[in-house]
Homo-oligomer: A and B are copies of this chain.
Amino acid sequence: MDACCSPVCCEPLSEADALEMATRLKALADPTRLRLFSLVASQEQQCACDLTEPLHVSQPTVSHHLKVLTDAGLLNREQRGKWAYFSVSAEALEDLARFLDPAELVSQA
CB distance from A36 to the nearest CB of B (A): 9
Contacts of A12 in B (CB 8 A): 35, 38-39, 42, 54
Which residues of the other chain, B, contact A38 by a CB distance below 8 angstroms?
8-9, 11-13, 18
B108 adjacent to A90 (CB under 8 Å) = yes
Q: Which B residues lie within 8 Å of A3 (CB)?
A: none
Q: Hey, which bits of chain A sit against chain B, CB under 8 A?
A: 8-13, 15, 18-19, 21-22, 25-26, 28-35, 37-39, 41-45, 54, 76, 87-94, 96-97, 100-102, 105-109
- 7 nearest CB pairs, A to B: A26-B29, A25-B29, A29-B29, A93-B102, A97-B100, A9-B41, A87-B107
